[in-house]
Amino acid sequence: MFIHTVRPGDTVYKIAQQYGVSAAAIISANVLTNPNSLIIGQPLIIPQTARSHTVVAGDTLYRIAQRYGISLDALLLANPQIVNPNNLQIGQVLQIPWVKWGDIVVNGYAYPSTRSEVLREALPHLTFLSVFSANLQPDGSLIPMDDQRVIALCREYSVQPHMVIANLREDAGFQTGIATAVLQNPAAQNTFLDQAIALMKARGYTGLDLDLEYVRASDRDAYNCLLAKARARLHDEGFVLSAALAAKTSANQPGLLFEGHDYAEHGRYDDYVILMTYDWGYVSGPPMAVAPLQEVRRVVDYAVREIPREKILLGIPNYAYDWTLPYAEGTKAKLVYHPEAILLAARQGAQIKFDEAAQTPYFHYFDAAGKQHVVWFEDARSILAKLELVRQYRLGGVSYWAVNHSFPQNWYVLDAVYQVKKEA
């Protein structure tokens, strides 16, 4: 796999000739609905089994192998013309095979209402599907949702369904009061665990994911106690425990979003932790990348000091925002998705740009009323950069928020560089 950024004058057929692949292969890999309408700056996946590297001063086979994340043996096998591995020539062209970096856990969040065709696109690439399955009440009781269709699809694709429990109300967002009521009441905690385990057994779930957000600092110790109880009871029943954590960069980071999440204790009790490394650019905030890589890296730097690396799943956003400019405080961006963003750029004749620091694409356009907009979204390049971060930090895997909408390029890139673990 190679990622080509469209330049002026490019056509699918010219690009295919350049890389020695068929135009049909490029169209298929990128699910191009209109191959005759490429966008300047648009990334296209080139389905190749090898790429080339031209030797420069200071290169060694070991350094080249490290740069591309492959073994020295794999590099030598792809270049049988190398007679003396210690005597590379400047300007010599080497073939770099696309070798998968290893196997990882892949989680995706979904709702019971997620369309079956979208789930069928995502499920072959997942280890777990975490489904928002029940509404948590202040007394710890659960009101189940109709999730049987989604669970049946998980079984069809050998994906482990996990039940998500959140202090969430569809019309009002995350409710701090619900979290406090449950966490500060041992009877409510027991009710919650009793009903969660019974529901998981009845419906065929294999794990529980806690998505308790906006937890007060005063409830943090109680949350840690719930984790200890949940781990003991779930493990006794053979279930997996995971939790979603706010994107923190220090233990005592201020703010309601962060204060109730104790990375060290979650690392102790959870089987997996999902870092919510997104929403720097958010619906009511100023325009910026949703998951800028430099900020994501800061979170990972802190997380690996507190949590075993193999437990960490890096959050990846499957959504984007369209902001009206100039940004005014109190206004909201429009939520869009990857294929929609590409179609919008094509329709508006926009050029896609790429922020090297954030490793994220964006574009500007003017609407019918003459107002300027900026759209920050994800593409093959930004996804590859995040997957590379997983390799660099030797994390356990990734988690997508969410798999409720199509993103074909993402799944192609993921499968090109990693083998997805399927739990027994």
| Active-site annotation, residues | 213
Q: Residue 31: left (phi > 0), alpha (psi -120 to 50), or beta?
A: left
Strand locations in 240-393 (E): 240-245, 272-275, 312-317, 320-324, 334-336, 353-355, 360-366, 372-376
Q: Is residue 385 within 8 Å of 91, Cβ to Cβ?
A: no
Going by C-alpha positions, the residue among 166, 191, 263, 181 that lies closest to residue 222 is 181
In terms of C-beta density within 10 A (0-12 exposed, 13-18 middle, 19 or more buried), how is residue 78 classed?
Answer: middle
Say how many residues make up the chain.
424
The DSSP code for 274 is E
229, 232, 294, 226: which is closest to 260 by C-alpha? 226
CA distances from 275 to 4, 31, 318, 361 (A): 30, 30, 15, 22
Alpha-carbon distances, residue 197 vs 134, 207, 208, 268, 320 (angstroms): 12, 9, 9, 21, 35
Q: Give the ranges where 204-249 is alpha helix by DSSP (H).
A: 220-236
Pure H helices in 22-98: 23-30, 61-68, 72-78
**What tokens appear for 5 in the block?**
């950024």
> 């994390």: which residue's tokens?
395
The answer to whether the CB of 355 falls within 8 A of the CB of 346 is no
Q: Could you check whether the bond before residue 326 is cis, i.e. omega within 30 degrees of 0?
A: yes
> How would you classify the pairing of strands 50-54 and 93-97?
antiparallel
